[in-house]
Structure 1
Amino acid sequence: MSINGITPEMLEGAPTLYQIIPSLQEFIGDMPLLGHNLEFDLKFLCRAGLDITLDKRKFFDSYVLAGSILKKPKWEYDSELGCYSPNYDKPYDISDYKLDTLCRYYAIDRADEHRALGDCIDTARVFRCLLQEKIDTTEDFDA
């Protein structure tokens, strides 16, 4: 509730995950799947009965793609603190790969964050930005 603002009252009368799996299965068919930290969501969906085992299904994860394109600060041992912490003194692109952080980095307004449709739209927008950045850096490398 503290993350997404969804209260128990909002869930009253809503179908369970197990009840919507058949319609979700039909909806996705054999289409590719895009998500942010996709493995996390797929664990819940597969436990509930979603079958994503098509041989040719493509998976795209904006979290993983961000990790291959953008640099986070390196974690180094801080003897004063007695623990590891991010070193913000060395060059980095972004502090973490959370969807909200990536949206801020790419100046994407989050009108409906932490809601299914809003997060899907934001993930697609971030994915498009990451793909463009990947294309741009590849073109620079090839030139």
Structure 2
Amino acid sequence: MLYQIIPSLQEFIGDMPLLGHNLEFDLKFLCRAGLDVTPETRRFYDTYELAGHLLKKPKWTYDRDSGGYGPNYNQNYDVMDYKLGTLCAHFWIDRMDAHRALGDCVDTAKVFRYLLEKKIDTTAGFDS
């Protein structure tokens, strides 16, 4: 059971930063099982949230023909959504072991690296 490994996980992560994709979703399960992620110095990095700040997805607009809302593909956008698989495809990351714990961790780290590079590129030259 999950609660059995929480003490080892707690010791392993200590007060180190946590990186994940849609991190809030995973942390809900871990915290319910007893993981404490509340040290004041802890930093959290969520590639889902970072992508939302750095990449554009299609805006939804009302379509009279269908009588509902849908994505407007005529506007400029980077990605369809912020799912891990979509971000991996956008950054040309080959997913060798998708939807497996270790594979998704490695993919998330790679996406994080690309998002950091994008962030650095967009802010370069502003701090002269």
Q: List gaps (5 residues or longer) in structure 1.
A: 1-15
Cα deviation digits, residues 26-60 of structure 1 (max 9, x gap): 11111000000000100111011100010110000
Q: Does 1:22 align with 2:7?
A: yes
Shift of 1:96: 0.3
Aligned counterparts of 1:140 and 1:129: Cα–Cα separation in 2: 19
Cα distance, 1:112–1:78 mapped onto 2, change above 3 Å: same
Counterpart of 2:54 in structure 1 is 69
Ranges in structure 2 where 5+ consecutive residues have no aligned partner: none
Aligned length: 128
In 2, Cα distance between the equivalents of 1:79 and 1:142? 46
Find out whether 1:125 has 2:110 as its counterpart: yes
What do residues 67-115 of structure 1 show as CA deviations (whole Å, max 9, x unaligned)?
0000000001111111110000110010000000000000001101111
Percent identity, aligned pairs only, is 71
TM-score for both structures, normalised by structure 1 = 0.86
Q: Does 1:58 align with 2:43?
A: yes
Task: Say if 1:134 and 1:44 are closer, same or farther in 2 by CA, change over 3 A.
Answer: same
TM-score, length of structure 2 as denominator length: 0.96
Which 4+ residue blocks in structure 1 deviate beyond 3 angstroms? 140-143
CA RMSD of the aligned region, Å? 1.2
Provide the C-alpha distance between the structure 2 equivalents of 1:48 and 1:64, rounded to a whole number of angstroms: 24
Distance 2:51 2:107 in 1: 14
